[in-house]
Structure 1
Amino acid sequence: MKQRAKKPVSSFLYNHPTLHRWALLVLPVGWMALVYIVALIALLITALWSVNEYTGAVEMTWTFDNLIQAFTDSLYLTVTERTLFIAVLATVIDIILAFPIAFYMARMASPRARKLLVILVSTPLWAGYLVKAYAWRSVLSGSGVLDMILRPFGGHSPGYGLFAVILVEVYLWLPYVITPIYTAFEQVPESLLEASSDLGARSGVTIRKVLLPMIVPGVVAGSIFSFSLSLGDYIVAGIVGGKTQVLGNIIYTDVGVANNSPMAAACALIPIIIIGVYLMLVSRTGALKRL
């Protein structure tokens, strides 16, 4: 049988593998450029516009007043500090909670128990975000489940506020932290741990000098999830935060209530810059190269 002649395009790409690889990246890279880079440029441009004091209409007149106010005004600085505090604390708590859970799942649990634990960890992800947030609102209310449990012991529910926001953020993003750390634990070769033990290293030394350095990428990946999601979240603060304000609430107020999209765009640049700085600091550790 005669072999089919190759089509001109496929033949050309076959003979130019570098061009073939670049052609495969055109659509995803182009989409990223359109959705992210163009969106960021549009956000920056919007932050440089102004709002007419009398009509409330957005005017395309260039000014740095919004950016200066967002980065110097005491209100925005206070809200930024609070938002950053919530994100950092939620991330640290998530890592502390995820570490022993992931270690047990990967290194101590039987294969059957491991499968069950993976299902249990991933089960909260099947529920809707708002469903989980409102469930916690019910639990933390003055007449909620937590108050009913603590009342016989003389305690009471902490109610809504900063503590409730941190608690719910920790709960929401914990599975996103457990999963990459569990994967990192699973990828550690058993032979390395056995070699460390054969050479006389104690368990603490093995964990500190062999195990921990190898799971750093998993911890970094989990921290990126928890930190970025907590930093950008505003719905939790609106549901269980009471009077607690975060950056997302300020941005929503400026857009939805005050119709001040330039100021909202200026405030939106703050978490973007924070995330950029965080990723830059993490990249210097070399952890991102091993993800």
Structure 2
Amino acid sequence: MSFLHRHPGLRLAGLLSAPLLWLGVAYLGALAVLLVSAFWSVNTFTGDLVQEFTLRNFRTLLAEEVYRNVTLRSLGVAVAVTVICAVLAVPMAFYMAKVAAPRHRHWLVIAILTPLWASYLVKAYAWRVLLANGGPLDSLFGGPGYGLFATIVVLSYLWLPYMILPVYAGLERLPDSMLEASGDLGARPGRTFRAVVLPILVPSVFAGSIFTFSLSLGDYITVQIVGGKTQLIGNLVYANIGAAGNLPFAAAIATIPVLVMVIYLVAVRRSGALEEL
């Protein structure tokens, strides 16, 4: 013990070795296997896995219009969900951080977190009941039924807390004295927002968008439940793993959201969003 006390670097390495090993084997290892298997193929006659390097899967993804359309549709859904969550989260988080009484803020945070404690499937099927023909929304407003719009609505509901919490955390760190000082110096509310609030708000919104964008891009359960005939990337991956039994092609499709998220993370890194996580 005294040896470890004299060598804090070794002590830290010992503490981090187990989680880093788990990360390397379970996460990065699985991702590496995914990327490698995307260059394999399946024998069309026997159904056996052929572990030989080939670009056939990626050529199919690029050549077939249906896969390009599904990719663009998935990106559109992820962007739409992120924008909706940001529009809803900013005023809610601002109220929680700057308007609500301090003794009420903890209860508001608990209220935001409470839906996360419920089962994903329970919430998705609850929306299926709401959106069904003859359901509550259909009876009151002429509900949209199942489809792409329903998918966006449900995903926005599911991932909204992941946007609210980073924005709330960022705004909570903004001292009230800065807002007061801006007003004392004669700045109008719009000027105060642009000069004081916006520099704090933008990285927080980007931090929340990492969750909402990535979770929406790879989701397939919600699409299966309320999406009707809508096809997104997650559905294609699931279909090729299940009925088609084409694991290499499923792996090739799965590399699309991975590549998109790498590009997205590199892009938002400049905003300081990663420091907000």
Equivalents in 2 of 1:222, 1:289: separation in Å? 12
Give the letter for the 1:186 counterpart. E
Provide the residue aligned with 1:196 in structure 2. 182
Provide the residue aligned with 1:5 in structure 2. none
Equivalents in 2 of 1:11, 1:196: separation in Å? 54
Q: Which residue of 70, 75, 90 corresponds with 1:84? A: 75
Q: Which residue of 20, 28, 36 corresponds with 2:11? A: 20
Q: Equivalent residues in 2 for 1:229-268 (5 A)? A: 229-268=215-254
Provide, for residues 180-231 of structure 1, a one-character-per-residue CA deviation record: whole Å limited to 9, x for no partner.
1111111111222222122221111111111111233321221111111101
Provide the residue aligned with 1:45 in structure 2. 36
Equivalents in 2 of 1:65, 1:140: separation in Å? 40
Equivalents in 1 of 2:39, 2:30: separation in Å? 14
- Contact 2:206 / 2:268 at 8 angstroms: preserved in 1? yes
Q: Equivalent residues in 2 for 1:218-233 (5 A)? A: 218-233=204-219
Equivalents in 2 of 1:27, 1:72: separation in Å? 44
Provide, for residues 63-92 of structure 1, a one-character-per-residue CA deviation record: whole Å limited to 9, x for no partner.
111122223421111111101100011001
Provide the residue aligned with 1:153 in structure 2. none
Which shifted more, 91-100 or 62-71? 62-71
What's the CA shift for 1:12?
2.1
Equivalents in 2 of 1:180, 1:286: separation in Å? 13
Q: Which residue of 259, 273, 276 corresponds with 1:287? A: 273
Equivalents in 2 of 1:199, 1:19: separation in Å? 53
Provide the residue aligned with 1:7 in structure 2. none
Give the letter for the 2:127 counterpart. W
Q: CA RMSD in A?
A: 1.4
Give the letter for the 1:198 counterpart. D
Provide the residue aligned with 1:54 in structure 2. 45
Q: Which residue of 248, 255, 276 corresponds with 1:269? A: 255
Equivalents in 2 of 1:116, 1:60: separation in Å? 55
Give the letter for the 2:239 counterpart. T
Q: Which runs of 5+ in 2 are unaligned?
A: none
Q: Which residue of 98, 106, 130 corresponds with 1:115? A: 106
Residues 231 and 31 of structure 1, relative CA distance in 2, 3 Å threshold? same
Give the match's secondary structure for 1:53. Answer: coil
Equivalents in 2 of 1:14, 1:123: separation in Å? 42
Q: Which residue of 125, 131, 143 corresponds with 2:122? A: 131
Residues 102 and 279 of structure 1, relative CA distance in 2, 3 Å threshold? same
Equivalents in 1 of 2:109, 2:35: separation in Å? 42
Residues 281 and 72 of structure 1, relative CA distance in 2, 3 Å threshold? farther
Structure 2 residue 160 is matched with structure 1 residue 174: yes
Identity %: 53
What's the CA shift for 1:112?
4.0
What's the CA shift for 1:287?
2.9
Report the TM-score, using the length of structure 2 for normalisation: 0.95
Tell me how many residue pairs correspond in the alignment: 277
What's the CA shift for 1:290?
4.9
Q: Which residue of 72, 81, 93 corresponds with 1:102? A: 93
Give the letter for the 1:101 counterpart. M
Give the match's secondary structure for 1:257. Answer: coil
Q: Which residue of 28, 47, 57 corresponds with 1:66? A: 57
What's the CA shift for 1:22?
2.5
Provide the residue aligned with 1:148 in structure 2. 139
Q: Which runs of 5+ in 1 are unaligned?
A: 1-9, 151-155
